[in-house]
Structure 1
Amino acid sequence: MDVPLWRRRWWQATAIGFLAMLLICGGFLPRMTARSGGALVPSNPDPQTLELGRPSDLPLPSRVSVAQFEEKLFTFLNERQYVALGWRRDKSVRDTGPYLEGRSFGTHPAVRVYYSPGVIRWLLNGRAGTIPDGEMIIKEQYPAPAIRHRATLEGDLPYSLESWTVMVKDAAGSHDGWFWSNPAKGQRVVDNHVYPFADPISGFGLACIRCHAATQSPGAEPAHPANEFTFAALRNIEGFPGTPLTFKSDDSWRRGANEAKTEAVVKTAATADANLGPDPRSALGHPQSGAGFPSFFDAIKPVERAQLAVLPPVTHDWVVTNRDRSQEFLTANQCMSCHAGLLAPFGPTMFVPTGTNVEYGAEGWDVSPYGEWRWTPMGLAGRDPIVFAQIESEVQALCKQFESDPSRAGKLCATLADTCMRCHGSMGKRQFAIDHPDASNFSVDHIHEIADPAGHPGHGDAKYGALARDGVSCVVCHRMQPPAQPSSDHRPYLQYFLETANTGNYHLGKKGEIYGPFQDNEIASYAMEHATGLKPKQSAFLKSSQLCASCHTVVLPNVDRPLDHTDLSHQGDELTRGEVVPEFRKFHHHVEQATYLEWLNSEYENEIDLQNPRAKSCQDCHMSRGLKDETHGIDLAQLRSKIAVIQDTTYPEAENLVASDRLQVRTRETGFRRHNFSGLNAFLLEMFNQFDDVLGVPKTDYMTGSKQGIDHAVDHIARTARDDVASLAVTADWQGPNRLTARVVVANKVGHRFPSGVGFRRAFLELAIVAPAEPPRGPERIVWASGQTNDQGVLLGADGQPLATEFFARDPGTGRQQFQQHHEIITSPNQVQVYETLLRDAKGGFTTSFVRSCETVKDNRLLPRGWRREGPGPALTGRYLQATHPGPGASEDPRYQDGSGSDEVTYRIELPSAIDLSRLQVRATLYYQAIPPYFLRNLFETAPDGPATRRLHHLTSQLNLKGTAIEDWKLPITSARCTVKPQP
C-alpha cells in the first residue's frame, strides 16, 4: 500500500533535522572533548603544538628521601592534581584482564591511566628513545570489572577510586630508571622501618618490575636505557585513534558478595593504615624461658629490650641494580620479584597450598627460591646474633692478649672481623673492597649502617650495610665461577682450589652475568636482562660441591701460636702458604671448618672419582627436590613448577610486549630444586621467630602473604633430623643378677661428619632404663640413665646436678679441666657419649675461640661412610686430609677406622635390687645442640659488656622452647628402644 504523501514528507523532515543535529553537534564535539583532556589528534600530529597539559612540580625521587617524596606524591594523588594539570588520560576505565565468576584475572584492578606530557610525546615519537626524567604515568585503580563504571558520571567516578599505581621516571635511581608507588586512596606516609616493618609502598626496584620487564621498545636491546618499562599505547588514550583491548566479563560482579580481591588490592589495603595503631610489641611482649637460665649464665645481668642493640630491619636492605658498572651486587629483594611464590589469579606457582584456598595469604608451603632462602642460615647469615657475639668475644680476647701493643691488637681485630665478613657479610665486604681498594678492613660496624633519613635505603655508603645484612644472598652463589688455574701452576686442580679459594675467597664470574643450572636455550632470559642488566647463563658450577666449599672450608690462624721465622719448616705448610692476609701470616694455622673436606673423604664425593655411582653433591642433599608434609597428606618426590613469575605468555594480552617466544617460562618437570638448604640450626630460627623486632626480619611474605615460612623451615629441620641424619639401634642382655648390658650403634647418614661445621656443635646419646607405668595410671619410672639434661640442655649426673664436665670444671685432685672422653664402654650415669670436638689454646685451657685452636683434645664426631685414613686420592693430602681424621681416643676405636660411619657404645649397668626386672625397657635417643650451654657461657664470660653479647644473652634467656622442636635445648635426631627379656 502506498504511503501517504504527508507521512513521506514527515520522515524526510525528520531525517534532515537529525542530520543537521549531527553536523551541529559534530562541530562542538572536539571542543567538548578537549575540555576533558582529549582533543582529537590529526593523523600526523606535531607533539610540540598539541595541548598535552602541564608537568608536575614534584622533585625527582632520587633527590629526596622516600618519605619526603611520598608526602608530596600522596598529596598530588589524593587531590588528583594531575587532572587539574590537564594530562591526557585513557578513553575510559578499562580492564587489564578477564573477570569471571567473581574473580578478576587482570594484572591490576580496573584502571584509567593519566600520562604526563613527556610520556605522550614519547608515544607520539614511536616509543623511541628514553622518557625524560620527571615524567609520570598514573594508573587510577577501580573495582573490577570496568563495566560496573560504564554509566558512572565523570564527577562521580573518584568516589569509586581505590588506589593508584604510579611510575615516576628517574634514571639515576636504578637500572630500570623508574620510581614505583602503589598507595591506597587516602594513603598516609608509612615509616616501614618501624616494627612490624611493613613492605614499602614506594621506591626503586619494587616488585612491579616482574611484569613491566616483559615490555620492549621498538628495536631496543634488552638492557639498553632506551628499552622502557611501560605498556602504554596511544590507542588507549582519549583523542587518539584505535580501540583499547577488551576482555570478557560475566555478570558475577553484580552479585558482589563472593568477589575475590586481587593481590594488589590486598597488599595496598594492608599498608594503608600501617603505623596508625599501637606498637604490636606492647601487646605481645617477649616470651620467657626457664627460670634456671640466670643460674647457669650469670656473667651478664638480665638485659631489657630497650637496652638492646637491635639490628636494622630488612626494610633498609634495599640495593638495586644501576647502570654503574662498578656495582657487582644487589639484595635478594631484587630477585624476589620474579623468584618468589605466587598465588591466584596467576598461580599457585612455587607454592603448594595445604587447603582449597589459593588466594593471597593462603596457607601452604612456599617452595620458591626466595621464600625458602629467607629462613635458612644462608639468608640470615648477615644477621646471625651468635656470629656477632662470637666476633665480639674474639675481639675482646685479642685486645686482652695484646694489651701491651694496642696498635697490633687493633690490626688483628679488624683483620679478623673482615675475614668473618667474607661469608657472613659477603656482598657488603666485596662491594666495599671494590669501591675502596686501598681502604681499611670491612668491619662489623658496617652491619649497622643505614641510609641518612634524607636518603634512600641502600644508597650511598648505606649500601655496604644493606648488602652485608643480606647474608649469603642470591648473587653470592649465582655469580660464582671456578677459579682459573694458571698454566704455570702444576698442582692438581683440586689442591689448587683448596689452597686458593677457602675461607670465603670465592671467585666471581664476568660482570653482567649471572649463572644457573639450566641450558641457555631452555631459559627465558629477556625479562631478567631487561629488569636488572644481568644476563642469565648456564653453568655446571652451580651443581658442583665446590660452590659450597669456599665458605665451608675455613682456615684460620692460631693467634696465640706465632711462627718461629727462624724455623723454615713452616714454609711448606699449605695452610700458612695459602693465607692471603699479611697480618695472619705470622701465625700457625688450623682448619677451623672442614665440611667440604669431610665430604671429599666420603663415599659421596664426585670430584676425585668423577664416575662414582654413589655420589651425592652438597646440592643433592641440601636442596630438596620434593616436599613431604604428613599432616596434609603431601608427598611429592619431585616438585614441578616454573622458576620465575614474570608476565609470561599465560597472562592476559597486553600492548608492547616483547615477542612471545622470549616470554616462554617453562614448567620444570625435573630439575626444580628448593633453596631450603637443609640443616639443623633450629635454635637460630627460633630466635628469629620469637624476636623479629630485635633481629629485624618480618615473618609475613610480601609476594604470597604467607605467615608460615619460618614455621615450615623449623618443621623441615625436624623432619630432616628424624629422617636423614642418623640411624640408631639398641639391644640389651643380662650379664648377671641386676647387671644389664646394652649396646647402641649409631650410624651417620650424612655426607660429612656429624656434627659438622663450627667446632662447638655437639650431639649426644641418652640411654634410659625405664620401668613401665603400673596400672591403672601410674607413671613410668626411669631407673638408670646416662645423657639426661635439664631444660637448659645441661647434661646431668646421677644426682640430678650438672656434670662437672659440662663447664670443664677442674678436678680437685689433678687440677686439670674435666671433659667427657670418647667412650666405648659406659658404666656410670656420669659418663655420656658426646660427639664433639674439643680444643685447647696455647695455655692449655679449653676454648671455643676460632683463632686459638692449638690442640685437638677430642674429635669423635661421627665420620661419613666411606671415610679412609689415606683419603680418596692424591689431590687431598697433607693438612687438608688430616682435618678429616678423628681425634685422640676415637682414632683408636675400630668403628672409626672401618669406613662404616658408625659408632658402638656398650653400657654396663648395675641396676638397683628393689625393682621389678621383668618389665624393663631400654630407650636410646640421639640429640643435637647447635649452641651447647658451655659455648654460651664462654661467650657471656668473655665479653659481658659487648652489645652483641648482651643481645644474645637477652635472646637466649628469653627464648621459650616449650612445645618447639628444640624443647629442653636439644633437637631429637633419632631414637630406638628394646624390651629387656626376663632373666632365666
Structure 2
Amino acid sequence: MNSRLALPRSSTLSLALFVLGCAHDGTPSGDDEVGGEGSSGGGESSSSREAGEAGEAGEAGDSGDSPDSSEAEDTGDAGALSALALPPGHEVHTGRVATAHTCEDCHANSDQAQAMRDELDRAIAPHNLWRGTMMANAGRDPFWHAMVEGEVLSTPSAAAAIEAKCMRCHAPLLSAELELTGASAPSIAALGEDTDHGALGRDGVSCTLCHQIEDEQLGAPTSFSGGWTVAGEGRIYGPHADPFPMPMLNHVDMSPVESPHMLESATCATCHTLHTEALDAAGQATGSTLAEQAPYLEWRNSAYSTELGEPGPAAASCQDCHAPKRSEGGVQTTTAIAHRPPGDDFPNNVFPRSPYGRHVFVGGNTLVLGLLRDYAEVLNPDAPSAAFDATIAATRDQLQGATAQLDLGTITREGEQLRVPITLTNLAGHKLPTSFPSRRVFAWIEVRDANDKLVFGSGAFDERGRLLDGEGEVLPSELAGGPTAPHYAEISAADQAQIWEAIMADDQGAPTYRLLRGATYYKDDRLLPAGWDAQLADAEIAPVGVAADLDFVAGGDSLSYVFDAPAAAGPYSVEVRAYYQPLSPRFLAELFALDGPKIRAFEAMLSTAELEPERLATAQASAD
C-alpha cells in the first residue's frame, strides 16, 4: 500500500512553566507531617469512576487534544525548559507501522457508541486509557531524556550506540521503521523534529508496535533488551478467535490475527528484561553485563509465574495486573472492541469479546506522570490532563492497595528500652521496587510518649523527599558522592533508615549511578516476591548485601527498632509506614552532578514539583 501521511494537528499552545507548589516544609511531625493524610497520597484522589474513564473528555474528535493552557499558571520565561521541548504528535501511517492516531478512529471511546465500555458504562477504550500512561509517553519522558544525556556525557564516544539502544524501547515505532527500511539507527535528536520520523518516535510504546510483535523466541534471552521482531506486514495480533477483518483492512490496510502470545508475559519481557554492557570512560566494553531491569525474570521465579511448572493459585501474567481483564469493580469485562470510524457502533459482525484487557498500564510512577501533565506545553503529550489525572489516581490506588502490607509485631520491653518489630510484605509479582535502579522503598517510624512527645523516629524526610537525621539534617547518603545506606536488620538511631533499593557497582566494585559503568550490584535488598526460590533464581537477579539478615526471605523482610523509652513516660503510641519513590533523591543528585541542557531542564521541572514520597502502607500500635 502507499504510505498515508497526515498533517500535524494544529497547536496554539505557547511554552510556559507550571507551578505545582511545595505543600510542606520540614520533617514529618504530628498532624502537620510531610506525607501525611492528604499529602503523601497526593491530596484527594480522583474517584474510581474517573480512573476508569481515563479522559472521558477525549472521546471521538478531541481524543488527541492537549490540555488547555488556562489550566496551568504561566510563571514567565520557559527558556530553561527549551531543551526538553517537543512538538505535538501527528498521524503517520507508513504501511509498516502507524501512530496511535490511526487506531483511535475505531478504538477510542465515542459518545455515539456502547463499544469499549464496562458494566457501569465507564469508558475503557484502549486509546483513552493508554494515552495517559508512561507507555504512551515513553518518548516524551523528561527523566529518560535527561538520563540518556547523562549517559552520553559520561561516555561520549558511545553516543550513537547509547541512543539507539535506549530508543529501541522508548521510541520503538521509529526504531522498527528504520530497521524495516534499512535506514541508520535512530538518533534522539529526531524526537525533537516535527517530522514523520519524529512523530513515530514520540508516540512511545504504541499500538502497532506491541500488537505486531511476532511470536518468535519470546522468553528466550535473544528476545530481551529490545529483541522483539516486527515484520511490518500489517498483522495486528490479539487474543480473540475468528476476528472480523474487513473494517481494519478497509480503513488502515491491516489485518487482525488471533494469537495467544498477546496475553503472555514473555511478550512484555522483550523490553522489560534489559541488559547493558559496562563501558569504561573511553567507551570500551569491560566484559561485564548488568541486568539493568529484570521484572520478567523476577516474576518467573515467583509464585505468580505461569511459565515454570504447574501454575499455582496466585499465578498471574504481566497483563493480568497491568492490563486487567476485569473492571474496577472486579467484573469480567465483555465488550465490543471497536466502533465504526464515524463514531457509532458496528451494526453487526463486531460482537462483544472477552477477554478484554483494560490498557491502563499502571505502574508506580506518579511523579513523571504529573510532569507530563503539568508541563504539557513543553512536552506536548497527546492526552488531556484528565487522562493523566486518571492514571495517577489508579497508580495511587495500586500503590496503596495492592503493593505492600506492613505489620507490627509484638512490641516488647527490654529494661528502659522498647523493641518494635515490623514486617513489610511484598504483594507484587516481582521485586519491590523493580526495574530501573532509581526506585526505592523506605520505612518510617514515629514513637510518642503519653504527652505526645516524639521520643524516637527514623525515615523522616523533607519536602524534596530526602531522608533526614534526628536534627533535621539531610543524611549524607542522600547527597552526590556520599556514602551508601546499608541494609539494616535492626535500627537504633534516627540517622539510620532502612531503604530497600538497588545500587549498581562498577568493575572495581565501587558504587556507581551511571548505567554504563554498572557491572553488577553493590546492594540489592529489594523485597523478593512470594515464592522466590534462591536455587532457581538467575544469578544476575540474586539479592546482594543481605546474607547476614535471616529475616530477609521470599515475600518480604522484617527488622526491629530499639530505642530508649522509660516505662514511666508511657503508654507509647507507635506508627510505622512504608513509602515509595520512583526517583530517589540520591539517584537524582548523582544525575544533577552532570551538566547538560536536558539535565538542567529536568532539574528545573522538578524544582516546582511535589516530591513527597508515595505512601504504600501504615500500621499503628501502643505499648507500655
Task: Specify the TM-score bucket, using the shorter chain as the normaliser.
Answer: 0.7 to 0.9
Per the alignment, in what secondary structure is the counterpart of residue 548 of structure 1? helix
Where does 1:306-325 land on structure 2 (aligned, <5 Å)? 308-314=82-88, 316-321=89-94
How far residue 784 of structure 1 moved from its aligned partner, in angstroms, is: 1.4
Rounded Cα–Cα distance in structure 2 between residues aligned with 1:432 and 1:650: 36
From 541, 547, 557, the equivalent of 1:903 is: 557
1:341 paired residue among 109, 114, 123:
109
Change (3 A) 1:941 1:843: farther
Instruction: Give the structure 2 partner of residue 792 of structure 1.
Output: 464
Find the counterpart in structure 1 of residue 20 from structure 2: none
Aligned to 1:15: none
The answer for the alignment partner of 1:894 in structure 2 is 550
Contact 1:311 1:383 in 2 (8 A): no
Specify whether residues 712 and 191 from structure 1 end up closer, same or farther in structure 2 by C-alpha distance, changes over 3 A only.
Answer: closer
| Aligned position for 2:584 | 932
Equivalent residues in 2 for 1:388-427, closer than 5 Å = 388-399=145-156, 409=157, 412-427=158-173
The alignment status of 1:618 with 2:318, answered yes or no, reads yes
Instruction: Report the CA distance shift for 1:916/1:615 in structure 2 as closer, same or farther (over 3 A).
Output: same
Q: Does structure 1 residue 511 correspond to structure 2 residue 279?
A: no
- Correspondence list, 1:225-236, <5 A: none
Q: Paired residue for 2:380?
A: 696
SS in 1 for 2:4: coil
**CA drift at 1:757:** 0.6
**Relative to structure 1, is the Cα distance of residues 848 and 192 closer, same or farther in structure 2, using a 3 angstrom cutoff?**
same
What amino acid sits opposite 2:4 in the alignment?
S
Among 169, 192, 204, the residue aligned to 1:448: 192
Compute the RMSD of aligned alpha carbons. 3.2
One-letter code aligned to 1:740? L
How many residues are treated as equivalent by the alignment?
582
Q: Kindly indicate whether structure 1 or structure 2 has the higher relative contact order, using CA contacts under 8 Å at least 6 residues apart.
A: 2
Given that residues 692 and 698 in structure 1 are in contact (C-alpha distance below 8 angstroms), is that contact kept between their aligned partners in structure 2? no
Q: Distance in 1 between matches of 2:323 and 2:467?
A: 34
Aligned to 2:352: 667
What SS class does the counterpart of residue 857 from structure 1 fall into?
Answer: strand
Provide closer, same or farther for how the CA distance between residues 586 and 804 of structure 1 changes in structure 2, counting only shifts above 3 A. Answer: closer
In structure 1, the partner of 2:423 is 745
**Residues 514 and 698 (structure 1 numbering): CA distance in 2 closer, same or farther, change over 3 Å?**
closer
Name the residue aligned to 1:229: none
Secondary structure at the counterpart of residue 409 of structure 2 = strand
What do residues 809-853 of structure 1 show as CA deviations (whole Å, max 9, x unaligned)? 5xxxxxxx5222111111111111100011233466532211111
Q: Which amino acid aligns with 1:526?
A: M
The whole-number CA distance in structure 1 between the counterparts of 2:204 and 2:466 is: 31
The separation in 2 between residues aligned to 1:709 and 1:433, in whole angstroms, is 32
Tell me how far 1:350 sits from its aligned partner.
2.7
Alignment of 1:155-554 (within 5 A): 174=4, 192-195=10-13, 280=69, 284-286=73-75, 304-305=78-79, 308-314=82-88, 316-321=89-94, 327-343=95-111, 345-347=112-114, 349-350=116-117, 366-399=123-156, 409=157, 412-437=158-183, 439=184, 441-450=185-194, 462-483=195-216, 497-498=220-221, 500-509=222-231, 511-519=233-241, 521=242, 523-554=243-274
TM-score (structure 2 length as normaliser) = 0.86
SS at match of 1:976: strand
Give 1:421 shift.
0.6
Considering only CA atoms, is the larger Rg found in Structure 1 or Structure 2? 1
Q: What are the superposed Cα offsets for residues 608-646 of structure 1, whole Å, 9 maximum, x if unpaired?
A: 225444321111111123344xxxxxx343333221122
Per the TM alignment, residue 286 of structure 1 is displaced from its structure 2 partner at its CA by 5.0
Q: Check 1:932–1:266 CA distance in 2 against 1; reply closer, same or farther (3 A cut).
A: closer
> Does the C-alpha gap of structure 1 residues 769 and 732 become closer, same or farther in structure 2, counting only changes over 3 Å?
farther
How far, CA to CA, are the matches of 2:372 and 2:491 in structure 1?
38
The reply on whether 1:979 has 2:622 as its aligned counterpart is yes
Shift of 1:352: 7.8
Residues 938-959 of structure 1 deviation map (CA, whole Å, 9 limit, x = unaligned)? 11111x2x22112211210122
Give distance in 2, aligned partners of 1:650 and 1:718: 34
How much does 1:508 deviate? 2.2
Q: Does 1:643 align with 2:337?
A: yes
Counterpart Cα distance in 1 of 2:118 and 2:225:
35
Q: Which runs of 5+ in 2 are unaligned?
A: 16-56
1:825 aligned residue: 490
Question: What is the TM-score of this pair, normalised by structure 1?
Answer: 0.55
Q: Shift in Å at residue 310 of structure 1?
A: 4.1
> Residue type matched to 2:377 in 1?
D
2-side partners of 1:283 and 1:595: how far apart? Answer: 36
Matched residues in 1 for 2:59 and 2:461: separation?
51
Which residue number in structure 1 is paired with residue 603 of structure 2?
953
1:723-734 correspondence runs (5 A) = 723-734=401-412
Distance 1:602 1:173, change over 3 A: closer
CA distance in 2, matches of 1:771, 1:597: 46
* Structure 1 residue 586: Cα displacement: 6.2
Distance 2:449 2:335 in 1: 51
**SS class of match (1:887):** coil
1:477 CA drift (Å): 1.0
Structure 1 residues 751 and 609: CA distance shift in structure 2, 3 A: same
Q: Secondary structure at the match of 2:167?
A: helix
Among all aligned residue pairs of Structure 1 and Structure 2, give the percentage whose two residues are the same amino acid.
Answer: 26
Secondary structure of 1:757's counterpart equals coil
Q: Secondary structure at the match of 1:894?
A: coil
Paired residue secondary structure (1:664): coil
Matched, 1:802 2:474: yes
Q: Tell me, yes or no, if the aligned pair for 1:689 and 1:710 is still in contact at 8 Å.
A: yes
Of 672, 677, 680, the match for 2:364: 680
How far does the alpha carbon of each residue in 1:575-625 deviate from its partner, in whole angstroms, 9 at most, with x for none?
xxxxxxxx9766321211111111111111122225444321111111123
Tell whether the 8 Å contact from 2:480 to 2:593 is kept in structure 1 after alignment: no
In 1, Cα distance between equivalents of 2:278 and 2:72: 48
Query: Is the contact between residue 113 and residue 343 of structure 2 (CA under 8 Å) also seen in structure 1?
Result: no
Structure-1 separation of matches of 2:72 and 2:506: 47
